[in-house]
Amino acid sequence: MGFLKKLFGRNNTQPITTTPDPKEEQQQTTDEENNEALRLEHEFQTLCNDGLRSLNMGETDFATRCFQAALERKDDDEVKGHLAETYIRSRQGEKAIPILQELIATHPDEINLHMAMVHAARNAEDWDTLNAAAKEVTRLRPDLPNGTFYQAEAKYSKGNFDQAETLLTTLLSEHQDAAQAVYLRAKVRYDNNQLNEALEDIQHFIRMAEPTEEANILNGDIHAKLGQKEEAIACYQQALDTNPFHQEAVIKIGTLYQSMQEWEKALHVYSEAIELQSDFAQAYKERSAVRQQLQDEAGASADLLKSLELSPEEDEVKDYATLENRMNARYRNQNPFGF
């Protein structure tokens, strides 16, 4: 104990006082600040790297947290751009828009930022923002068709069909090979009830590009609206051949057969779809109506029960005391004569 007392203790009661050196205190403060800055910079870089790695792997939730934490440590435009991209990839365009607005205010002539804003606005279905961003793309690169195309998409999405068609026609006069512009104009003309022009566009698109399921569905919709039911069924069947699980195509084919009173064909379409997708509630409901027409009461009842089981409608449960009443009401709704 005496030895330890000599090292760490003092026998006298007078405290030893020293005058602090201001230079040493200032140096200590500077060292602490430097160490803190180094720590934050190290954490910033680590979080950025982890965020980019996660983004490349498709792990957008973790990437978002990494970029947000990095920005808490240092304000950085590049990281803000990564965060905006992450929001766009995770279909949260509304969160990307204010970040991009801030970046564009600092870098107004950076076309990649305006293109990112286009994607964010489309994602968020913010058509006014899409239109403004697309105009900026055109301002910066008038030689590219992108800006005009997205302006037309914004107009179309707001129901301004004539303005959208004018923009697309102008675009196609300068870029005849812009297949997506042809497809969009077909949609615009279809919704604007210009059916013959829409049919011309969609068939031109199918000749230009590999026909997609959506293009075949639109082609069928135009034929159906023109009263060309067999042609419409053939188009829907092409979509179904490409994707046997395409539920919209199934319902459209079946509905057309029903309108033609081709009950057996409609039954076959719905039965094949149910065999592939046992949880296809709408197919059970439609098959129930077909079986009712074919006087298959037991089959119709079973299908209707299954459709209700898969897609219960709570408001109907409140309105009807028993399942039998609900089924009878369904049959009345499906019967064009109302009984």
Q: Give the tens place of pLDDT for each residue, 221-234.
A: 999 999 999 999 99
Q: What's the whole-number average pLDDT of the chain?
A: 87
Q: How many CB atoms lie within 10 A of CB 251?
A: 19
- Encode pLDDT of 275-312 as tens digits: 999 999 999 999 999 999 999 999 999 999 999 999 87
Confidence (pLDDT) at 246: 97
The answer to whether 292 touches 300, Cβ cutoff 8 Å, is yes
Of 54, 57, 56, nearest to 70 (Cα)? 54
Instruction: List the Cα angle 110/111/115 in 5-degree steps.
Output: 130
Name the residue with tokens 């934490």. 69
- pLDDT of residue 7 exceeding 60, the answer is no
Name the residue with tokens 């059916």. 195
Confidence (pLDDT) at 33: 58
Q: How many CB atoms lie within 10 A of CB 143?
A: 8
User: How many Å separate Cα 76 from the centre of its chain?
Assistant: 28
Alpha-carbon Rg for the chain, nearest whole angstrom, is 33
- Encode pLDDT of 263-275 as tens digits: 999 999 999 999 9
Q: How far apart are CA 163 and CA 337, in angstroms?
A: 43
Q: How confident is the model at residue 118 (pLDDT cuts 50, 70, 90)?
A: very high
315 Cβ contact list (under 8 Å, min separation 6): none
Of 276, 277, 137, 274, nearest to 288 (Cα)? 274
The answer to whether 180 touches 149, Cβ cutoff 8 Å, is yes
Name the residue with tokens 């910066």. 140
The percent of residues above 90 in pLDDT, for the chain, comes to 78
Tally the residues of the chain.
339
319 Cβ contact list (under 8 Å, min separation 6): none
The backbone torsions φ and ψ at residue 110, rounded to the nearest 5 degrees and listed phi first, read -90, 105
- pLDDT of residue 252 exceeding 80, the answer is yes
Name the residue with tokens 């991009």. 100
Domains and CATH numbers, the chain: 43-144 (1.25.40.10), 155-238 (1.25.40.10), 244-339 (1.25.40.10)
Q: How confident is the model at residue 24 (pLDDT cuts 50, 70, 90)?
A: low
- pLDDT of residue 18 exceeding 60, the answer is no
Q: How confident is the model at residue 211 (pLDDT cuts 50, 70, 90)?
A: confident
Burial letters for 67-100: b for 16+ Cβ neighbours within 10 Å, e otherwise? bebbbebeeeeebbbbbbbbbbbbebbebbbebb
276 Cβ contact list (under 8 Å, min separation 6): 244, 245
- Encode pLDDT of 26-65 as tens digits: 655 555 556 777 888 898 999 999 999 999 999 999 999 9
How confident is the model over 90-119, as a mean pLDDT?
96
Confidence (pLDDT) at 35: 72
229 Cβ contact list (under 8 Å, min separation 6): 223, 256, 259, 260
- Encode pLDDT of 150-192 as tens digits: 999 999 999 999 999 999 999 999 999 999 999 999 999 999 9
Q: What is the pTM of this model?
A: 0.78
